[in-house]
C-alpha cells in the first residue's frame, strides 16, 4: 500500500453507490426495475407493430435497453440478486441465449462500492466507534467488490497486513426476497420454462446464500482448508484475524497475488501445471476431503508469479459432498474411461443427470452425446482444453432435445453444486488452453469401480 493512499473512510470514491439496505428500499428497487423493463417492452412491442410484425415477449424483454437496466439494477442491489446472476452465468455457459448471456456477463463484471459514510456506519456497528485507531493504515477504497461484500486492505498497529471483507448492509436479511424477485423477473422474460418446478433449486440457492452471508462460518471453513493444504507446494490459504472478525466482517492475512488471468500469457507448461493442480484439488475435494468449495469464480484464485503458488480465497460456498453424489461421479468417470457407452448412460440415469424422457425419445442423440464425451476422454495424449469443437456438438444436440418437453428436468440439487465447480474448472482450463493428462489424474479414483471387460 502506497504511503499516500488515503486513510480512513472519508476518502473520495467516485464509483461508490449506496446499497439499498432496508426491505422497503430493496422492494422499491425491484419495482423500479420491473417498471423500467415493462416500459421498454411496451416501446419495443410498439416498434414491432409499426413494422407489421407480431410482438414476441422474449424479443421485447431482451432489448439492449432492458439488458442495461437489468445489469445495472442487479449490480446496484448486489447481494443475492447479483449472486444469482453470477451463478447462472457461470453455470449455464454455452447453453444460454446470447442476449441473456450478455446481461449476466455485465452483472458478473459490475460491482458498485459502498460510499464512505455507509462503510463507516457498517464498521461502527461491527467494531464500535473509534475503530480506525486500531489500525496503522486502513484503505477506504476496496481492492475488490463483489456480490455480498467488498474487501479492504489494512495494516494493524503491530504491522500485520490484512484483507478485510465487509458485508453490504441488508443483503443477509434480503436473501429470500431477492432470490424470489430475480426468479420472477426471469420467468416474466420467458427464459425459465413455466413447466419446470424450480422451487427446490431456489430453496437450495437461498440456503447456500444464507451460509455465504455468515462470515463466522466462512472463517471456520477457511481455516479447515488451510489445515488440509498446509505445506502444499501449489496452494496458499490465508489465516483468519479473529480479533477483527464478526458475522459480517471477515479479516484475514493479506496474501499478495495477481489475478489468475495473468496466466493467459504464461508459457504453455506453466498453464498446464496450474490447471493440473486445480483439477487435482477438485478431485481431492470430491473423493478425499468430502468437502468442496463450490464457487468456481476466477476471482477466488490469485497467482503469485514469484512462488508459482495459487492463493485460494472465498470459502463461503463450501459444502459437504454427498457420498452418493461422489459415487455417481466415480461411476460416470469409470464408464467413460472404459469407453462403455451403455454403462455411462446407465450411470447418468441413476444419478439423475440424464432424464428418462431423453433416453426414451432421443436415443440416437443421447448416444451421440455420450460417444462424443467418451471420444474426448480417451483421445491420445493430454486433454486439450483449448479445443472446444466438441462443445458445439453437445450444445446443438442438447438444444434439439430441449424442444421436447419430456426431456426437461432439474438434476439433484447436490449434483448441480458439484457440477458447477467442475464446469467452472473446465472453463478456466479452456481460458488457459491448458493441456492436461486428465485420465492419469482421474484413474486412481475409479479403480475401485468394476469396468467393462
Is 176 annotated as catalytic? no
In tens, the pLDDT along 7-38 reads 444 333 335 655 555 545 444 444 444 444 44
pLDDT band of residue 345 (cuts 50, 70, 90) is very high
Q: Are residues 50 and 188 in the same domain?
A: yes
Backbone angles phi, psi at 249, to 5 degrees: -135, 130
Q: Are residues 316 and 187 in the same domain?
A: no
Q: Are residues 261 and 184 in the same domain?
A: no
C-beta of residue 278 within 8 angstroms of C-beta of residue 235: no
- Separation in Å, CA 87 to CA 69, 83, 156, 371: 19, 6, 35, 29
Mean pLDDT of 108-119: 76
Q: Residue 321: is its pLDDT beyond 80? A: yes
pLDDT computed for residue 63 by the predictor: 55
Mean pLDDT of 131-139: 97
C-beta of residue 123 within 8 angstroms of C-beta of residue 167: no
Mean pLDDT of 170-197: 74
Tell me how far apart the alpha carbons of residues 221 and 206 are, in angstroms, rounded to a whole number.
Answer: 19
Q: Are residues 323 and 444 in the same domain?
A: yes
Q: Are residues 340 and 452 in the same domain?
A: yes
Q: Residue 56: is its pLDDT beyond 90? A: no
Tell me how far apart the alpha carbons of residues 397 and 84 are, in angstroms, rounded to a whole number.
Answer: 27
Neighbours of 287 (CB within 10 A): 18
Q: Are residues 270 and 375 in the same domain?
A: yes
pLDDT computed for residue 58 by the predictor: 47
Q: Are residues 429 and 338 in the same domain?
A: yes
Say which residue, 247 or 42, is predicted with more confidence. 247
Q: Are residues 82 and 186 in the same domain?
A: yes
Tell me how far apart the alpha carbons of residues 60 and 301 are, in angstroms, rounded to a whole number.
Answer: 38
Domain total in the chain: 2
C-alpha torsion 367→369→374→377, nearest 10: 180
Q: Are residues 187 and 301 in the same domain?
A: no
Neighbours of 285 (CB within 10 A): 21
Which domain does 387 fall in, by range?
Answer: 257-453
With respect to residue 266, please indicate whether it lies within any of the assigned structural domains: yes
pLDDT computed for residue 191 by the predictor: 57
With respect to residue 226, please indicate whether it lies within any of the assigned structural domains: no
With respect to residue 82, please indicate whether it lies within any of the assigned structural domains: yes
Query: Catalytic one among 214, 295, 314, 328?
Result: 295
Tell me how far apart the alpha carbons of residues 17 and 142 are, in angstroms, rounded to a whole number.
Answer: 13
The lowest-confidence range among 105-114, 194-203, 232-241, 371-380 is 105-114
pTM of the model: 0.79
Q: Are residues 189 and 262 in the same domain?
A: no
- In this structure, the chain runs to a length of 453
pLDDT computed for residue 11 by the predictor: 38
pLDDT computed for residue 55 by the predictor: 38
Q: Are residues 279 and 371 in the same domain?
A: yes
With respect to residue 117, please indicate whether it lies within any of the assigned structural domains: no
Q: Give me 120's grid cell.
A: 463507516
With respect to residue 270, please indicate whether it lies within any of the assigned structural domains: yes
Name which of 205, 141, 212, 203 is nearest 171 in CA terms. 212
With respect to residue 329, please indicate whether it lies within any of the assigned structural domains: yes
pLDDT computed for residue 65 by the predictor: 56
In tens, the pLDDT along 269-281 reads 999 999 999 999 9
Neighbours of 389 (CB within 10 A): 9
Q: Are residues 270 and 186 in the same domain?
A: no
C-beta of residue 359 within 8 angstroms of C-beta of residue 344: no
Mean pLDDT of 97-110: 57
Amino acid at each position: 500500500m502506497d504511503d499516500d493512499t488515503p486513510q480512513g473512510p472519508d476518502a473520495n470514491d467516485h464509483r461508490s453507490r449506496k446499497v439499498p439496505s432496508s426491505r422497503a428500499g430493496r422492494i422499491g428497487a425491484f419495482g423500479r426495475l420491473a417498471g423500467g423493463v415493462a416500459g421498454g417492452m411496451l416501446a419495443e412491442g410498439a416498434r414491432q407493430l409499426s413494422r407489421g410484425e407480431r410482438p414476441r415477449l422474449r424479443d421485447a424483454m431482451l432489448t439492449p435497453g432492458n439488458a442495461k437496466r437489468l445489469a445495472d439494477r442487479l449490480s446496484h442491489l448486489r447481494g443475492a440478486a447479483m449472486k444469482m446472476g453470477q451463478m447462472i452465468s457461470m453455470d449455464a455457459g454455452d447453453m444460454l441465449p446470447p442476449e441473456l448471456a450478455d446481461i449476466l456477463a455485465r452483472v458478473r463484471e459490475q460491482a458498485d462500492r459502498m460510499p464512505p459514510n455507509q462503510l463507516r456506519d457498517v464498521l461502527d456497528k461491527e467494531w464500535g466507534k473509534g475503530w480506525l485507531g486500531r489500525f496503522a493504515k486502513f484503505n477506504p477504497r476496496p481492492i475488490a467488490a463483489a456480490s455480498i461484500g467488498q474487501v479492504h486492505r489494512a495494516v494493524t498497529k503491530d504491522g500485520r497486513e490484512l484483507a478485510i471483507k465487509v458485508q453490504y448492509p441488508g443483503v443477509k436479511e434480503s436473501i429470500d426476497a431477492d432470490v424470489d424477485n430475480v426468479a420472477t423477473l426471469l420467468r416474466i422474460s420467458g427464459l425459465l420454462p413455466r413447466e419446470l418446478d424450480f422451487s427446490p433449486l431456489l430453496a437450495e440457492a437461498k440456503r447456500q446464500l444464507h451460509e455465504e452471508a455468515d462470515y463466522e462460518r466462512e472463517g471456520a471453513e477457511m481455516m479447515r482448508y488451510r489445515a488440509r493444504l498446509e505445506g502444499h507446494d501449489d496452494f496458499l490459504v490465508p489465516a483468519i484475524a479473529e480479533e477483527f472478525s464478526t458475522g459480517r466482517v471477515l479479516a484475514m492475512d493479506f496474501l499478495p497475488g495477481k489475478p489468475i488471468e495473468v496466466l493467459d500469457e504464461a508459457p504453455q507448461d506453466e498453464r498446464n501445471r496450474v490447471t493440473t493442480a486445480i483439477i487435482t484439488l477438485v478431485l481431492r475435494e470430491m473423493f478425499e476431503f468430502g468437502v468442496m468449495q463450490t464457487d468456481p469464480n476466477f476471482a477466488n484464485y490469485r497467482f503469485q508469479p514469484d512462488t508459482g503458488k495459487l492463493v485460494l480465497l472465498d470459502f463461503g460456498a463450501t459444502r459437504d459432498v454427498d457420498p452418493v453424489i461422489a459415487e455417481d461421479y466415480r461411476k460416470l468417470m469409470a464408464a467413460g474411461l472404459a469407453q462403455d457407452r451403455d454403462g455411462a448412460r446407465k450411470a447418468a440415469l441413476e444419478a439423475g443427470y440424464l432424464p428418462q424422457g431423453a433416453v426414451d425419445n432421443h436415443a440416437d442423440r443421447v448416444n451421440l452425446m455420450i460417444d462424443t464425451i467418451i471420444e474426448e476422454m480417451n483421445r491420445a495424449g493430454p486433454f486439450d482444453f483449448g479445443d472446444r469443437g466438441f462443445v458445439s456438438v453437445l450444445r446443438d444436440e442438447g438444444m434439439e432435445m430441449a424442444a421436447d418437453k419430456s426431456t426437461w428436468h432439474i438434476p439433484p440439487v447436490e449434483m448441480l453444486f458439484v457440477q458447477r465447480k467442475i464446469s467452472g474448472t473446465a472453463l478456466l482450463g479452456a481460458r488457459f488452453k491448458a493441456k492436461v493428462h486428465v485420465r492419469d489424474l482421474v484413474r486412481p479414483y475409479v479403480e475401485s469401480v468394476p469396468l467393462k471387460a
